[in-house]
Structure 1
């Protein structure tokens, strides 16, 4: 997994309600970041700050067990990544090589839907004025382990929304739980055939919409990955 980085991406992170602090984090290509108080000017397209509600919620991911297999499973076939810039339809599964912490595996990744939310969904989050005029969208995706490597506790999160004009949708990064949409790591014993359904929120001006989704983890780069629309 590569660290998230882009000189033009600005993401505002949300802390737990107990923290009570709103923080702006700007990510750059060299991995450095700078923090400023939310009262400072924020670049156009910046994401609204959010603080998750302290009310416990159930995890948004769901796990589907594979059918029983023999203990002497044959090696999984090698998986080749589609060419950078490939576009597929929402609902189509794309097979990808996947590495995490030095472990080499393979996944099938499917963007299953893009759900338009409601500004009222954000009532439990402490948003600043940058949220005005923005609409939440929820990118639902499924990860299936198609290799023979146990991918327990790995994370597939290099996923972003694209607006109708092809530009990047602002990210809403929430530390804590957000009942409407929560990504997360795979569970323990995430072995061949098991799937997890996850969600990543994105924001859009009310004059536009989140119309497509891009995955840009290795072997891809930001703005040159696999797109679902």
Structure 2
């Protein structure tokens, strides 16, 4: 999906709510990733906490992620309550990975007017945004600097997926999902993803993480929070 940034504004792109497509939340580049398009604005800074755990010595490079469902890691298809952490074997690209504690901390209903700066036009007519807040904590031994824990999508009452949006630029309602430099053991960050309910009468009631290794297209083995 191509995206174009414009100075001082955020631009949104609605992704099809189909299993397997990358429905991402708010993202932006940084100096060690692909640079943002010329003229695009930087993403809003998410809130972070940095409580180092000296019991582990982080290292950069390859992953230390265990297989799902082993050593306390979340099993494919496992469900959690909102606010409950899941230990997740995390992989980013081909050369980075580790172990994270992933927690959906809340799902907030927004206003239809929130979407005006994204200039979605008729594509978002009648839709209502929901903001899925989730925290990421590095509980492994590898440095996850500048990786991105996305693949978070909303769930509707009937279990189907809410519409997702990819955003480039600054959207004050929802922070980015890129992890900062020196994201080592014990570091944590709060992120956000946007999900769209099809109408004011329908709510986004849950969230699903469908990143590897929970991304089976056929078995729908994502982790869910409600």
User: Under TM normalisation by the shorter chain, which class is it?
Assistant: 0.7 to 0.9
- Tell me, which stretches of 5 or more residues in structure 1 are unaligned? 1-11, 34-53
Distance change >3 Å, CA 110–CA 27, structure 1 → 2:
closer
Distance change >3 Å, CA 145–CA 130, structure 1 → 2:
same
Does the alignment pair 1:227 with 2:216?
no
- Tell me, which stretches of 5 or more residues in structure 2 are unaligned? 23-38, 59-63
Q: Residues 13 and 174 of structure 1 are in contact (CA less than 8 Å); yes or no, is this contact kept in structure 2?
A: no
Does the alignment pair 1:69 with 2:49?
no
Runs of 4 or more above 4 Å deviation: 18-31, 54-58, 70-73, 76-80
Return 107-116 or 215-224, whichever deviates more.
Answer: 215-224
1:69-218 to structure 2, matched below 5 A, reads 69=54, 79-101=71-93, 102-205=95-198, 206-218=200-212
Report which structure shows greater RCO (CA 8 Å, sep ≥6): 2
For residue 51 of structure 1, what is the aligned residue in structure 2? Answer: none
- Structure in which a larger fraction of residues adopt strand: 1
Q: Residues 104 and 135 of structure 2 are in contact (CA less than 8 Å); yes or no, is this contact kept in structure 1?
A: yes
- Cα distance in 1 between the residues matched to 2:19 and 2:109: 31
Q: Residues 98 and 107 of structure 1 are in contact (CA less than 8 Å); yes or no, is this contact kept in structure 2?
A: yes
- Cα distance in 1 between the residues matched to 2:20 and 2:155: 24
Larger Rg: 1
Q: TM-score, normalised by structure 2?
A: 0.74
For residue 48 of structure 1, what is the aligned residue in structure 2? Answer: none
Equivalent residue pairs, number: 196
- Cα distance in 2 between the residues matched to 1:202 and 1:30: 16
Q: TM-score, normalised by structure 1?
A: 0.73
Q: Residues 13 and 167 of structure 2 are in contact (CA less than 8 Å); yes or no, is this contact kept in structure 1?
A: no
Deviations 1:129-170 (A, max 9, x none): 121110000000000000110000010001110111111000
Q: Residues 97 and 142 of structure 2 are in contact (CA less than 8 Å); yes or no, is this contact kept in structure 1?
A: yes
- Cα distance in 1 between the residues matched to 2:132 and 2:10: 27
Q: Residues 148 and 178 of structure 2 are in contact (CA less than 8 Å); yes or no, is this contact kept in structure 1?
A: yes
Return 123-132 or 162-171, whichever deviates more.
Answer: 123-132
Distance change >3 Å, CA 23–CA 203, structure 1 → 2:
closer
